[in-house]
Amino acid sequence: MKKFFFKIFNSRSSNEDGIFFTEISKLIGYKPQNINLFKEAFTHRSTNLTDEKGNTKSYERLEFLGDAMLSAIAAEYLFNKVPHGNEGYLTKMRSKIVSREHLNEIGKDLNLLKLLHSNMNKDHFGDNVYGNIFEALVGAIFLDRGYGATEKFIYNNIIIPYVDIERLEGKVISYKSLLIEWCQKKKKTFKYMAYVDTGADNTKHFAVKLHIDDKIVAKARATSKKKAEEKASKRAFFALQDKIENQ
Protein backbone atom coordinates (compact mmCIF):
# COMPACT_ATOMS: atom_id res chain seq x y z
CA MET A 1 0.00 0.00 0.00
CA LYS A 2 2.87 2.41 0.82
CA LYS A 3 4.48 1.72 -2.55
CA PHE A 4 1.09 2.32 -4.19
CA PHE A 5 0.80 5.83 -2.72
CA PHE A 6 4.43 6.59 -3.50
CA LYS A 7 3.86 5.66 -7.11
CA ILE A 8 0.76 7.87 -7.29
CA PHE A 9 2.66 10.82 -5.83
CA ASN A 10 5.37 10.41 -8.48
CA SER A 11 3.11 9.42 -11.40
CA ARG A 12 2.27 12.77 -12.99
CA SER A 13 2.44 12.61 -16.74
CA SER A 14 5.51 14.11 -18.35
CA ASN A 15 3.25 16.83 -19.79
CA GLU A 16 1.88 17.74 -16.34
CA ASP A 17 5.39 17.71 -14.91
CA GLY A 18 6.56 19.99 -17.70
CA ILE A 19 3.76 22.48 -17.10
CA PHE A 20 4.34 22.41 -13.34
CA PHE A 21 8.11 22.87 -13.79
CA THR A 22 7.50 25.87 -16.06
CA GLU A 23 5.01 27.46 -13.64
CA ILE A 24 7.32 26.98 -10.66
CA SER A 25 10.30 28.38 -12.58
CA LYS A 26 8.32 31.54 -13.38
CA LEU A 27 7.15 31.82 -9.80
CA ILE A 28 10.51 31.50 -8.07
CA GLY A 29 12.70 33.09 -10.76
CA TYR A 30 14.98 30.14 -11.46
CA LYS A 31 14.86 26.51 -12.62
CA PRO A 32 14.51 24.26 -9.56
CA GLN A 33 17.10 21.58 -8.95
CA ASN A 34 14.67 19.25 -7.13
CA ILE A 35 11.15 19.63 -8.49
CA ASN A 36 9.82 17.08 -5.99
CA LEU A 37 10.32 19.60 -3.18
CA PHE A 38 7.93 21.96 -4.96
CA LYS A 39 5.44 19.18 -5.70
CA GLU A 40 5.33 18.54 -1.97
CA ALA A 41 4.96 22.27 -1.27
CA PHE A 42 1.80 22.25 -3.39
CA THR A 43 0.29 19.01 -2.06
CA HIS A 44 -2.59 19.18 0.42
CA ARG A 45 -2.98 16.51 3.10
CA SER A 46 -6.43 15.60 1.68
CA THR A 47 -4.61 13.65 -1.06
CA ASN A 48 -3.51 11.14 1.62
CA LEU A 49 -0.24 10.56 -0.21
CA THR A 50 2.80 8.98 1.45
CA ASP A 51 6.41 8.37 0.50
CA GLU A 52 8.13 4.97 0.33
CA LYS A 53 8.59 5.03 4.14
CA GLY A 54 4.94 5.79 4.81
CA ASN A 55 5.49 9.44 5.74
CA THR A 56 2.69 11.83 4.82
CA LYS A 57 3.38 13.95 1.75
CA SER A 58 1.90 17.42 2.15
CA TYR A 59 3.03 21.03 2.43
CA GLU A 60 2.81 21.14 6.23
CA ARG A 61 6.43 20.27 7.09
CA LEU A 62 7.75 22.67 4.46
CA GLU A 63 5.33 25.29 5.83
CA PHE A 64 7.01 24.94 9.24
CA LEU A 65 10.45 25.43 7.68
CA GLY A 66 9.32 28.35 5.51
CA ASP A 67 7.81 30.11 8.52
CA ALA A 68 11.19 29.96 10.28
CA MET A 69 13.04 31.26 7.22
CA LEU A 70 10.60 34.15 6.74
CA SER A 71 11.01 35.15 10.36
CA ALA A 72 14.82 34.98 10.21
CA ILE A 73 15.13 36.98 6.99
CA ALA A 74 12.62 39.61 8.12
CA ALA A 75 14.51 39.90 11.42
CA GLU A 76 17.84 40.39 9.62
CA TYR A 77 16.30 43.02 7.34
CA LEU A 78 14.87 45.00 10.26
CA PHE A 79 18.06 44.68 12.31
CA ASN A 80 20.01 46.33 9.50
CA LYS A 81 17.31 48.76 8.36
CA VAL A 82 16.34 50.17 11.76
CA PRO A 83 19.52 50.46 13.87
CA HIS A 84 17.70 52.51 16.52
CA GLY A 85 14.96 49.89 17.07
CA ASN A 86 14.99 48.05 20.40
CA GLU A 87 14.04 44.39 20.81
CA GLY A 88 10.35 45.07 21.44
CA TYR A 89 10.05 47.36 18.43
CA LEU A 90 11.84 44.91 16.12
CA THR A 91 9.68 42.01 17.32
CA LYS A 92 6.46 43.93 16.64
CA MET A 93 7.64 45.01 13.20
CA ARG A 94 8.68 41.50 12.27
CA SER A 95 5.24 40.24 13.32
CA LYS A 96 3.63 42.75 10.97
CA ILE A 97 5.80 41.69 8.02
CA VAL A 98 5.11 37.95 8.45
CA SER A 99 1.55 38.23 9.77
CA ARG A 100 -0.93 35.63 8.55
CA GLU A 101 -3.05 38.35 6.94
CA HIS A 102 -0.05 39.70 5.02
CA LEU A 103 1.08 36.27 3.81
CA ASN A 104 -2.45 35.38 2.74
CA GLU A 105 -2.59 38.53 0.61
CA ILE A 106 0.75 37.73 -1.02
CA GLY A 107 -0.33 34.14 -1.69
CA LYS A 108 -3.46 35.46 -3.39
CA ASP A 109 -1.46 37.93 -5.47
CA LEU A 110 0.75 35.06 -6.67
CA ASN A 111 -2.33 32.90 -7.37
CA LEU A 112 -0.77 29.96 -5.53
CA LEU A 113 -4.01 28.02 -5.14
CA LYS A 114 -4.12 27.20 -8.85
CA LEU A 115 -1.06 24.92 -8.44
CA LEU A 116 -2.35 23.10 -5.34
CA HIS A 117 -2.85 19.34 -5.63
CA SER A 118 -5.87 18.53 -3.44
CA ASN A 119 -8.85 16.22 -3.16
CA MET A 120 -10.94 19.03 -1.68
CA ASN A 121 -12.99 21.50 -3.65
CA LYS A 122 -10.80 24.59 -3.75
CA ASP A 123 -13.85 26.79 -3.12
CA HIS A 124 -13.99 25.29 0.39
CA PHE A 125 -10.57 26.53 1.45
CA GLY A 126 -10.28 29.56 3.73
CA ASP A 127 -7.87 32.44 3.16
CA ASN A 128 -5.17 30.87 5.33
CA VAL A 129 -4.36 28.27 2.69
CA TYR A 130 -2.66 31.01 0.62
CA GLY A 131 -0.28 31.89 3.43
CA ASN A 132 0.33 28.23 4.23
CA ILE A 133 1.35 27.45 0.65
CA PHE A 134 3.52 30.56 0.49
CA GLU A 135 5.43 29.45 3.60
CA ALA A 136 5.81 25.95 2.14
CA LEU A 137 7.15 27.45 -1.08
CA VAL A 138 9.75 29.40 0.90
CA GLY A 139 10.74 26.17 2.68
CA ALA A 140 11.13 24.37 -0.66
CA ILE A 141 13.33 27.16 -2.05
CA PHE A 142 15.56 26.99 1.03
CA LEU A 143 16.07 23.23 0.66
CA ASP A 144 16.52 23.52 -3.09
CA ARG A 145 18.96 26.43 -3.30
CA GLY A 146 19.84 27.59 0.21
CA TYR A 147 19.69 30.85 2.16
CA GLY A 148 20.77 33.22 -0.62
CA ALA A 149 18.02 32.17 -3.04
CA THR A 150 15.47 32.22 -0.21
CA GLU A 151 16.49 35.71 0.83
CA LYS A 152 16.27 36.94 -2.78
CA PHE A 153 12.76 35.47 -3.19
CA ILE A 154 11.53 37.06 0.05
CA TYR A 155 13.02 40.44 -0.85
CA ASN A 156 11.46 40.32 -4.33
CA ASN A 157 8.02 39.18 -3.15
CA ILE A 158 7.62 40.75 0.30
CA ILE A 159 10.17 43.32 1.38
CA ILE A 160 10.67 45.37 -1.79
CA PRO A 161 7.01 45.55 -2.94
CA TYR A 162 5.25 45.64 0.44
CA VAL A 163 7.48 46.71 3.33
CA ASP A 164 7.42 50.40 4.17
CA ILE A 165 8.75 51.05 7.68
CA GLU A 166 6.67 54.18 8.33
CA ARG A 167 3.45 52.53 7.16
CA LEU A 168 4.19 49.38 9.13
CA GLU A 169 4.71 51.38 12.31
CA GLY A 170 1.10 52.55 12.08
CA LYS A 171 -0.37 49.19 11.09
CA VAL A 172 -2.43 47.34 13.70
CA ILE A 173 -2.15 43.55 13.40
CA SER A 174 -4.42 42.74 16.36
CA TYR A 175 -7.05 45.13 17.70
CA LYS A 176 -7.76 42.66 20.49
CA SER A 177 -4.15 42.80 21.74
CA LEU A 178 -4.16 46.58 21.46
CA LEU A 179 -7.39 46.88 23.40
CA ILE A 180 -6.33 44.46 26.14
CA GLU A 181 -3.03 46.30 26.53
CA TRP A 182 -4.92 49.60 26.94
CA CYS A 183 -7.37 48.10 29.45
CA GLN A 184 -4.54 46.64 31.53
CA LYS A 185 -2.62 49.92 31.48
CA LYS A 186 -5.72 51.86 32.54
CA LYS A 187 -6.74 49.16 35.06
CA LYS A 188 -10.07 48.60 33.32
CA THR A 189 -11.89 45.28 33.51
CA PHE A 190 -12.76 43.59 30.20
CA LYS A 191 -14.58 40.45 29.18
CA TYR A 192 -15.43 38.81 25.85
CA MET A 193 -18.72 36.94 26.03
CA ALA A 194 -19.14 34.55 23.09
CA TYR A 195 -22.02 32.29 22.11
CA VAL A 196 -23.10 30.32 19.06
CA ASP A 197 -25.41 32.36 16.84
CA THR A 198 -26.38 30.54 13.64
CA GLY A 199 -29.44 32.65 12.95
CA ALA A 200 -30.92 31.87 9.54
CA ASP A 201 -27.56 30.79 8.11
CA ASN A 202 -26.52 27.22 7.45
CA THR A 203 -22.97 28.06 8.50
CA LYS A 204 -22.17 28.08 12.21
CA HIS A 205 -21.50 31.60 13.52
CA PHE A 206 -20.31 33.04 16.81
CA ALA A 207 -21.50 36.27 18.35
CA VAL A 208 -19.40 38.24 20.82
CA LYS A 209 -20.22 41.00 23.26
CA LEU A 210 -17.24 42.98 24.54
CA HIS A 211 -17.63 44.41 28.03
CA ILE A 212 -15.31 47.06 29.43
CA ASP A 213 -15.93 48.08 33.04
CA ASP A 214 -19.19 46.06 32.95
CA LYS A 215 -20.48 48.05 29.99
CA ILE A 216 -21.06 46.58 26.51
CA VAL A 217 -18.92 48.65 24.15
CA ALA A 218 -19.08 46.50 20.99
CA LYS A 219 -20.76 43.48 19.42
CA ALA A 220 -19.73 41.35 16.45
CA ARG A 221 -20.56 38.14 14.63
CA ALA A 222 -18.29 35.89 12.53
CA THR A 223 -17.64 32.28 11.51
CA SER A 224 -15.22 31.69 14.39
CA LYS A 225 -14.92 32.90 17.96
CA LYS A 226 -11.47 34.35 17.25
CA LYS A 227 -12.70 36.36 14.25
CA ALA A 228 -15.74 37.62 16.16
CA GLU A 229 -13.55 38.78 19.07
CA GLU A 230 -11.17 40.60 16.71
CA LYS A 231 -14.07 42.25 14.88
CA ALA A 232 -15.63 43.39 18.18
CA SER A 233 -12.23 44.68 19.33
CA LYS A 234 -11.82 46.70 16.15
CA ARG A 235 -15.23 48.29 16.60
CA ALA A 236 -14.42 49.07 20.23
CA PHE A 237 -11.07 50.56 19.25
CA PHE A 238 -12.64 53.04 16.84
CA ALA A 239 -15.36 53.87 19.36
CA LEU A 240 -12.71 54.60 21.99
CA GLN A 241 -9.96 55.81 19.65
CA ASP A 242 -9.59 59.29 21.13
CA LYS A 243 -9.17 57.90 24.65
CA ILE A 244 -6.76 55.13 23.53
CA GLU A 245 -4.53 57.34 21.38
CA ASN A 246 -4.42 60.11 24.00
CA GLN A 247 -3.68 57.81 26.90
Question: Which residues have a Cβ under 8 Å from the Cβ of 75 and sit 6 or more positions away?
Answer: 90, 94
Cut 0.75: pTM above it = no
Percent of the chain past pLDDT 70, that is, above it, reads 90
| pLDDT per position as a tens digit, 4-14 | 444 444 445 56
**Mean pLDDT for the chain overall:** 87
Residues with catalytic roles: 67, 135
Looking at residue 222, its pLDDT comes to: 85
pLDDT at position 38 over 70 = yes
| pLDDT per position as a tens digit, 201-239 | 667 788 999 999 989 999 998 888 888 898 898 898 888
Q: What domains, with CATH codes, occur in the chain?
A: 2-169 (1.10.1520.10), 175-245 (3.30.160.20)
Residue closest to 143 by CA, chosen among 242, 241, 39: 39
In contact, 228 and 208? CB cutoff 8 Å: yes
- Three-state DSSP at 174 gives coil
Distance CA 40, CA 34 (A): 11
Q: Where are the beta strands (DSSP E) in the chain?
A: 190-196, 206-212, 215-222
| pLDDT per position as a tens digit, 180-206 | 888 888 899 999 998 887 666 667 788
In contact, 206 and 223? CB cutoff 8 Å: yes
